[in-house]
Amino acid sequence: MSCTSLVFRRPIPDDWERVMAVLPSWWDGRDLRALLPRVFFEHFRGTSLLVEHEDALVAFFVGFFCGDHQDEACVHFVGVAPEWRRVGLASDLYRRFFALARTNGRSVVRAVTAPVDTGSVAFHTALGFSLLPGDAEVDGVPVTLDQAAPQGRHLVRFQLFLEPEVLS
Ligand SMILES: CC(C)(COP(=O)(O)OP(=O)(O)OC[C@H]1O[C@@H](n2cnc3c(N)ncnc32)[C@H](O)[C@@H]1OP(=O)(O)O)[C@@H](O)C(=O)NCCC(=O)NCCS
């Protein structure tokens, strides 16, 4: 991905409102804002990124390094503005996170998505992530039930081992 007019930067806490403002429309009207509280923009800035084009928000990435498992890095949320999709922006954000994770001694990256986000399932698979087993299946995809929240917030879980070639 090369577009010189794009600015990649670490988020600040005040960016949270901007992300909240776009999140439902970027997720096709689904309101997932409760899954991304402001605390992520206060305590995981160093492992998160925002992308702007002429001051407009075009993508964001929220990740963190797992505290209990020193070899793991986790992707919590990623979103790309609909008009900026399929140009490699999310792949770029993930690769930057992979590089940072390796520098930090992490060898495994985990990510999640909702089963209804079939584009996200395809994206993670295209990037080389494996699907982790769940306790049910939705359209042939393994899901972990009630993982994001009780009563039906199921998640598809992914895992990728950071081999050296992933970083190239
Ligand atoms: C999923 C999402 C982050 C992908 O972002 P993106 O910048 O468009 O992804 P990329 O351009 O890096 O895609 C890389 C590859 O992934 C695959 N891919 C990405 N989106 C896809 C889709 N909707 N359907 C099928 N394959 C897809 C393709 O193989 C693509 O390569 P190609 O364009 O050369 O065919 C974006 O569609 C999005 O923000 N969706 C809504 C929010 C969401 O579901 N977030 C993820 C869960 S938190």
pLDDT tens across 63-92, in order? Answer: 999 999 999 999 999 999 999 999 999 999
Q: In ligand 1, which atom is closest to the CA atom of 122?
A: 26
Ligand 1 within 6 A of CB of 26: yes
Q: Tell the residue nearest (CA) to atom 17 of ligand 1.
A: 123
Q: How far apart are CA 111 and CA 155, in angstroms?
A: 10
Q: How far apart are CA 159 and CA 108, in angstroms?
A: 7
**C-alpha 128 to ligand 1 mean position (Å):** 13
Ligand 1 within 6 A of CB of 122: yes
**C-alpha 31 to ligand 1 mean position (Å):** 19
Largest pairwise CA distance in the chain: 44
Percent of the chain with pLDDT over 90: 85
**C-alpha 48 to ligand 1 mean position (Å):** 18
pLDDT in tens, 97-140: 999 999 999 999 999 999 999 999 999 999 999 999 999 898 88
Q: What is the mean pLDDT of residues 4-18?
A: 96
Ligand 1 within 6 A of CB of 126: yes
Taking CA atoms, 91 is separated from 21, 88, 127, 163, in Å, by: 23, 5, 7, 16
* DSSP secondary structure letter of residue 82: G
Per DSSP bridges, beta strands 141-149 and 136-138 are antiparallel
Amino acid at 151: Q
pTM for the full predicted model: 0.94
**C-alpha 123 to ligand 1 mean position (Å):** 4
